[in-house]
Amino acid sequence: MSSRPSPTTTLNEALRAAPSTTTAVPTSAPTDDARIPLRGHVRHTGALVRRNLLWIRQDPESMADALLMPVIFTLLFVFVFGGSIGQALGGGQDRYVQYVIPGMIAMMSMTLSQGVGTGFSQDFNSGVMDRFRSLPIGRGSVLFAKISVELMRMLFATAVLMVVAVAVGFDITNWPGLFATVALSTAFASSIMWVFLTLGVIMKSAQSVQAMGFLVLFPLQFGSSIFAPTTTMPGWLRAFTDYNPLSTLADASRGLMVGGPVAHDLWVTLGWSVAITAVMAPIAIHKFRTKS
Protein backbone atom coordinates (compact mmCIF):
# COMPACT_ATOMS: atom_id res chain seq x y z
CA MET A 1 0.00 0.00 0.00
CA SER A 2 1.55 3.33 -1.10
CA SER A 3 1.82 6.19 1.35
CA ARG A 4 0.72 9.76 0.62
CA PRO A 5 3.61 12.16 -0.12
CA SER A 6 4.31 14.57 2.70
CA PRO A 7 4.22 18.36 2.25
CA THR A 8 8.02 18.38 2.54
CA THR A 9 8.34 15.82 -0.26
CA THR A 10 6.13 17.80 -2.60
CA LEU A 11 7.99 21.00 -1.70
CA ASN A 12 11.35 19.42 -2.50
CA GLU A 13 9.98 18.20 -5.84
CA ALA A 14 8.69 21.69 -6.60
CA LEU A 15 11.97 23.35 -5.70
CA ARG A 16 13.87 20.93 -7.93
CA ALA A 17 11.47 21.82 -10.74
CA ALA A 18 12.13 25.54 -10.23
CA PRO A 19 15.77 25.97 -9.17
CA SER A 20 16.77 29.23 -7.53
CA THR A 21 19.17 31.58 -9.26
CA THR A 22 20.60 32.74 -5.94
CA THR A 23 23.81 31.77 -4.28
CA ALA A 24 23.56 28.65 -2.19
CA VAL A 25 22.85 29.30 1.47
CA PRO A 26 23.29 26.71 4.22
CA THR A 27 19.91 25.23 5.02
CA SER A 28 20.50 25.69 8.72
CA ALA A 29 20.55 29.48 8.37
CA PRO A 30 17.56 31.67 7.55
CA THR A 31 17.66 33.58 4.28
CA ASP A 32 17.48 37.37 4.14
CA ASP A 33 14.89 38.41 1.56
CA ALA A 34 17.01 41.46 0.62
CA ARG A 35 19.74 39.14 -0.70
CA ILE A 36 17.39 37.38 -3.11
CA PRO A 37 16.73 39.03 -6.50
CA LEU A 38 13.23 39.48 -7.86
CA ARG A 39 13.65 36.54 -10.23
CA GLY A 40 14.53 34.33 -7.29
CA HIS A 41 11.42 35.42 -5.39
CA VAL A 42 9.27 34.67 -8.43
CA ARG A 43 10.77 31.20 -8.83
CA HIS A 44 10.43 30.41 -5.16
CA THR A 45 6.82 31.57 -5.15
CA GLY A 46 6.08 29.44 -8.22
CA ALA A 47 7.65 26.40 -6.57
CA LEU A 48 5.58 26.88 -3.41
CA VAL A 49 2.41 27.41 -5.45
CA ARG A 50 3.10 24.10 -7.16
CA ARG A 51 3.67 22.47 -3.76
CA ASN A 52 0.27 23.72 -2.54
CA LEU A 53 -1.49 22.60 -5.73
CA LEU A 54 0.10 19.15 -5.42
CA TRP A 55 -1.17 18.95 -1.86
CA ILE A 56 -4.69 19.86 -2.99
CA ARG A 57 -4.47 17.08 -5.58
CA GLN A 58 -3.50 14.66 -2.82
CA ASP A 59 -6.32 15.98 -0.59
CA PRO A 60 -9.24 16.90 -2.91
CA GLU A 61 -11.58 17.20 0.09
CA SER A 62 -9.92 20.56 0.77
CA MET A 63 -11.85 21.91 -2.23
CA ALA A 64 -15.23 20.92 -0.78
CA ASP A 65 -15.99 24.38 0.56
CA ALA A 66 -15.14 26.05 -2.75
CA LEU A 67 -17.39 23.58 -4.57
CA LEU A 68 -20.37 23.27 -2.22
CA MET A 69 -20.62 26.71 -0.63
CA PRO A 70 -21.71 28.52 -3.84
CA VAL A 71 -24.28 25.81 -4.55
CA ILE A 72 -25.79 25.75 -1.04
CA PHE A 73 -25.91 29.51 -0.55
CA THR A 74 -27.40 30.17 -3.98
CA LEU A 75 -30.14 27.58 -3.63
CA LEU A 76 -30.87 28.58 -0.03
CA PHE A 77 -31.26 32.30 -0.59
CA VAL A 78 -32.97 32.10 -3.98
CA PHE A 79 -35.60 29.52 -3.05
CA VAL A 80 -36.10 30.37 0.64
CA PHE A 81 -35.89 34.17 0.62
CA GLY A 82 -36.18 34.96 -3.08
CA GLY A 83 -39.96 35.27 -3.24
CA SER A 84 -40.46 37.65 -0.32
CA ILE A 85 -37.39 39.84 -0.88
CA GLY A 86 -38.06 39.82 -4.62
CA GLN A 87 -41.52 41.28 -4.00
CA ALA A 88 -39.96 44.03 -1.88
CA LEU A 89 -37.70 44.78 -4.84
CA GLY A 90 -40.74 45.18 -7.10
CA GLY A 91 -40.61 41.76 -8.73
CA GLY A 92 -40.44 38.15 -7.63
CA GLN A 93 -37.89 35.38 -7.40
CA ASP A 94 -36.48 36.23 -10.83
CA ARG A 95 -35.87 39.81 -9.70
CA TYR A 96 -34.12 38.60 -6.56
CA VAL A 97 -31.80 36.36 -8.58
CA GLN A 98 -30.55 39.40 -10.49
CA TYR A 99 -30.03 41.19 -7.17
CA VAL A 100 -28.35 38.52 -5.05
CA ILE A 101 -25.90 36.85 -7.46
CA PRO A 102 -23.56 39.87 -7.82
CA GLY A 103 -23.66 40.20 -4.04
CA MET A 104 -22.75 36.55 -3.59
CA ILE A 105 -19.63 37.03 -5.72
CA ALA A 106 -18.64 39.62 -3.12
CA MET A 107 -19.46 37.15 -0.35
CA MET A 108 -17.23 34.47 -1.91
CA SER A 109 -14.28 36.88 -1.89
CA MET A 110 -14.66 37.32 1.88
CA THR A 111 -15.66 33.84 3.00
CA LEU A 112 -12.99 31.85 1.17
CA SER A 113 -10.29 34.30 2.26
CA GLN A 114 -10.53 32.68 5.68
CA GLY A 115 -8.92 29.53 4.29
CA VAL A 116 -5.54 31.23 3.95
CA GLY A 117 -5.42 31.77 7.72
CA THR A 118 -6.47 28.26 8.73
CA GLY A 119 -4.07 26.72 6.22
CA PHE A 120 -1.22 28.89 7.48
CA SER A 121 -1.94 27.89 11.07
CA GLN A 122 -1.96 24.21 10.13
CA ASP A 123 1.43 24.57 8.43
CA PHE A 124 2.87 26.06 11.61
CA ASN A 125 1.42 23.35 13.85
CA SER A 126 2.46 20.49 11.56
CA GLY A 127 6.08 21.63 11.34
CA VAL A 128 5.96 22.41 7.61
CA MET A 129 6.75 26.07 8.31
CA ASP A 130 9.93 25.07 10.15
CA ARG A 131 11.01 23.27 7.00
CA PHE A 132 10.29 26.38 4.91
CA ARG A 133 12.42 28.49 7.22
CA SER A 134 15.36 26.12 6.89
CA LEU A 135 15.37 26.39 3.10
CA PRO A 136 17.26 29.09 1.13
CA ILE A 137 14.06 30.77 -0.05
CA GLY A 138 12.55 34.18 0.50
CA ARG A 139 10.21 34.41 3.47
CA GLY A 140 7.83 36.56 1.44
CA SER A 141 7.52 33.76 -1.14
CA VAL A 142 5.71 31.62 1.43
CA LEU A 143 3.09 34.31 2.01
CA PHE A 144 2.54 35.21 -1.64
CA ALA A 145 2.28 31.56 -2.66
CA LYS A 146 -0.40 30.96 -0.05
CA ILE A 147 -2.39 33.96 -1.24
CA SER A 148 -2.04 32.92 -4.88
CA VAL A 149 -3.44 29.44 -4.26
CA GLU A 150 -6.35 30.78 -2.21
CA LEU A 151 -7.18 33.23 -5.00
CA MET A 152 -7.28 30.28 -7.40
CA ARG A 153 -9.74 28.56 -5.06
CA MET A 154 -11.85 31.70 -4.97
CA LEU A 155 -11.94 31.91 -8.78
CA PHE A 156 -12.98 28.26 -8.92
CA ALA A 157 -15.81 28.94 -6.44
CA THR A 158 -16.89 31.96 -8.50
CA ALA A 159 -17.06 29.82 -11.63
CA VAL A 160 -19.22 27.27 -9.77
CA LEU A 161 -21.42 30.10 -8.49
CA MET A 162 -22.03 31.44 -12.00
CA VAL A 163 -22.95 27.97 -13.31
CA VAL A 164 -25.54 27.57 -10.54
CA ALA A 165 -26.70 31.17 -11.05
CA VAL A 166 -27.45 30.57 -14.72
CA ALA A 167 -29.28 27.36 -13.76
CA VAL A 168 -31.62 29.30 -11.42
CA GLY A 169 -32.29 32.04 -13.97
CA PHE A 170 -29.55 34.65 -13.81
CA ASP A 171 -29.06 36.46 -17.12
CA ILE A 172 -25.47 37.29 -18.05
CA THR A 173 -26.02 40.25 -20.35
CA ASN A 174 -22.74 42.07 -19.70
CA TRP A 175 -19.69 39.81 -19.97
CA PRO A 176 -17.14 42.63 -19.58
CA GLY A 177 -19.01 43.68 -16.44
CA LEU A 178 -18.81 40.12 -15.11
CA PHE A 179 -15.05 39.96 -15.67
CA ALA A 180 -14.62 43.40 -14.08
CA THR A 181 -16.62 42.19 -11.07
CA VAL A 182 -14.40 39.13 -10.69
CA ALA A 183 -11.29 41.32 -10.93
CA LEU A 184 -12.64 43.72 -8.31
CA SER A 185 -13.57 40.85 -5.98
CA THR A 186 -10.11 39.33 -6.46
CA ALA A 187 -8.44 42.62 -5.51
CA PHE A 188 -10.58 42.91 -2.39
CA ALA A 189 -10.04 39.26 -1.44
CA SER A 190 -6.27 39.61 -1.73
CA SER A 191 -6.39 42.48 0.79
CA ILE A 192 -8.59 40.56 3.24
CA MET A 193 -6.23 37.58 3.06
CA TRP A 194 -3.54 39.65 4.78
CA VAL A 195 -5.88 39.94 7.76
CA PHE A 196 -6.34 36.18 7.95
CA LEU A 197 -2.63 35.56 7.38
CA THR A 198 -1.98 37.69 10.46
CA LEU A 199 -4.53 35.66 12.43
CA GLY A 200 -2.94 32.45 11.17
CA VAL A 201 0.42 33.56 12.56
CA ILE A 202 -0.64 34.93 15.94
CA MET A 203 -3.35 32.42 16.89
CA LYS A 204 -2.42 29.00 18.23
CA SER A 205 -4.69 26.73 16.20
CA ALA A 206 -6.66 26.56 12.97
CA GLN A 207 -9.85 26.22 15.03
CA SER A 208 -9.11 29.55 16.74
CA VAL A 209 -8.57 31.22 13.37
CA GLN A 210 -11.83 29.77 12.09
CA ALA A 211 -13.75 30.93 15.18
CA MET A 212 -12.32 34.44 14.99
CA GLY A 213 -13.00 34.51 11.25
CA PHE A 214 -16.64 33.66 11.88
CA LEU A 215 -16.96 36.52 14.37
CA VAL A 216 -15.53 38.90 11.76
CA LEU A 217 -17.34 37.56 8.70
CA PHE A 218 -20.85 37.10 10.08
CA PRO A 219 -21.67 40.74 10.91
CA LEU A 220 -19.89 42.04 7.80
CA GLN A 221 -21.81 39.74 5.46
CA PHE A 222 -25.28 40.07 6.93
CA GLY A 223 -24.87 43.73 7.92
CA SER A 224 -24.48 44.65 4.25
CA SER A 225 -26.43 44.89 1.01
CA ILE A 226 -25.35 41.44 -0.19
CA PHE A 227 -28.59 39.57 0.53
CA ALA A 228 -31.18 42.34 0.97
CA PRO A 229 -31.56 46.08 0.38
CA THR A 230 -30.58 48.31 3.28
CA THR A 231 -33.48 50.78 2.92
CA THR A 232 -35.65 49.07 5.56
CA MET A 233 -32.84 48.67 8.12
CA PRO A 234 -32.83 50.84 11.25
CA GLY A 235 -30.74 53.99 11.09
CA TRP A 236 -27.86 52.75 13.24
CA LEU A 237 -27.51 49.62 11.10
CA ARG A 238 -27.67 51.58 7.87
CA ALA A 239 -24.84 53.75 9.17
CA PHE A 240 -22.79 50.57 9.60
CA THR A 241 -23.67 49.24 6.14
CA ASP A 242 -22.68 52.55 4.54
CA TYR A 243 -19.11 52.03 5.75
CA ASN A 244 -19.08 48.26 5.23
CA PRO A 245 -16.72 47.44 2.32
CA LEU A 246 -18.83 44.40 1.44
CA SER A 247 -21.78 46.70 0.74
CA THR A 248 -19.79 48.85 -1.67
CA LEU A 249 -18.31 45.73 -3.29
CA ALA A 250 -21.78 44.19 -3.72
CA ASP A 251 -23.26 47.42 -5.07
CA ALA A 252 -20.37 47.94 -7.48
CA SER A 253 -20.77 44.35 -8.67
CA ARG A 254 -24.48 44.92 -9.34
CA GLY A 255 -23.76 48.07 -11.26
CA LEU A 256 -21.17 46.29 -13.40
CA MET A 257 -23.25 43.14 -14.05
CA VAL A 258 -26.89 44.27 -14.24
CA GLY A 259 -26.64 48.05 -14.58
CA GLY A 260 -26.72 50.98 -12.22
CA PRO A 261 -24.31 53.44 -10.55
CA VAL A 262 -20.76 52.11 -10.40
CA ALA A 263 -18.11 54.82 -9.99
CA HIS A 264 -18.56 55.73 -6.30
CA ASP A 265 -18.82 52.16 -5.01
CA LEU A 266 -15.97 51.04 -7.28
CA TRP A 267 -13.55 53.65 -5.99
CA VAL A 268 -14.57 53.16 -2.36
CA THR A 269 -13.99 49.39 -2.70
CA LEU A 270 -10.58 49.92 -4.29
CA GLY A 271 -9.76 52.40 -1.54
CA TRP A 272 -10.66 49.84 1.11
CA SER A 273 -8.52 47.22 -0.67
CA VAL A 274 -5.47 49.49 -0.79
CA ALA A 275 -5.91 50.66 2.81
CA ILE A 276 -6.34 47.14 4.23
CA THR A 277 -3.31 45.88 2.29
CA ALA A 278 -1.17 48.85 3.32
CA VAL A 279 -1.97 48.29 6.99
CA MET A 280 -2.15 44.50 7.28
CA ALA A 281 0.55 43.30 4.85
CA PRO A 282 3.45 44.80 6.84
CA ILE A 283 1.95 43.44 10.06
CA ALA A 284 1.55 39.95 8.62
CA ILE A 285 5.09 39.93 7.22
CA HIS A 286 6.56 41.21 10.49
CA LYS A 287 4.66 38.65 12.58
CA PHE A 288 5.72 35.86 10.24
CA ARG A 289 9.40 36.89 10.38
CA THR A 290 9.46 37.17 14.17
CA LYS A 291 7.29 34.18 15.12
CA SER A 292 9.36 31.72 17.13
Q: What is the number of alpha carbons within 13 Å of residue 61 lying toward its C-beta?
A: 1
* pLDDT of res. 210: 86
Is the confidence at residue 24, as pLDDT, over 60? no
For the chain, what percent of residues have pLDDT higher than 90?
35
What mean pLDDT do residues 268-279 have? 95
Confirm whether pTM is higher than 0.95: no
Neighbour tally for 160: CB within 10 Å: 18
| Angle between helix 93-111 and helix 139-167 axes, rounded to 10 deg | 170
Neighbour tally for 216: CB within 10 Å: 15
* pLDDT of res. 129: 76
Q: pLDDT band at residue 81, thresholds of 50, 70 and 90?
A: confident
What mean pLDDT do residues 198-219 have? 87
Q: What is the Cα–Cα distance from 1 to 145, expressed in whole angstroms?
A: 32
What mean pLDDT do residues 155-170 have? 94
Q: What is the Cα–Cα distance from 201 to 287, expressed in whole angstroms?
A: 7
Q: Which of 276, 218, 210 is nearest to 245 (CA)?
A: 276
Is the confidence at residue 135, as pLDDT, over 90? no
Q: What is the Cα–Cα distance from 280 to 278, expressed in whole angstroms?
A: 6
Q: What is the Cα–Cα distance from 211 to 114, expressed in whole angstroms?
A: 10
What mean pLDDT do residues 108-136 have? 80
- For residue 113, the Cα-to-chain-centroid distance in whole angstroms is 3
Q: What is the Cα–Cα distance from 212 to 237, expressed in whole angstroms?
A: 22
Q: Which of 247, 252, 100 is nearest to 168 (CA)?
A: 100
Q: Which of 107, 69, 72 is nearest to 253 (CA)?
A: 107
Neighbour tally for 126: CB within 10 Å: 13
Q: pLDDT band at residue 78, thresholds of 50, 70 and 90?
A: very high
Q: Report domain extents, the chain.
A: 8-15+36-290
Q: Are 113 and 216 in contact (CB under 8 A)?
A: no
Is the confidence at residue 27, as pLDDT, over 50? no
Q: What letter represents residue 175's amino acid? A: W
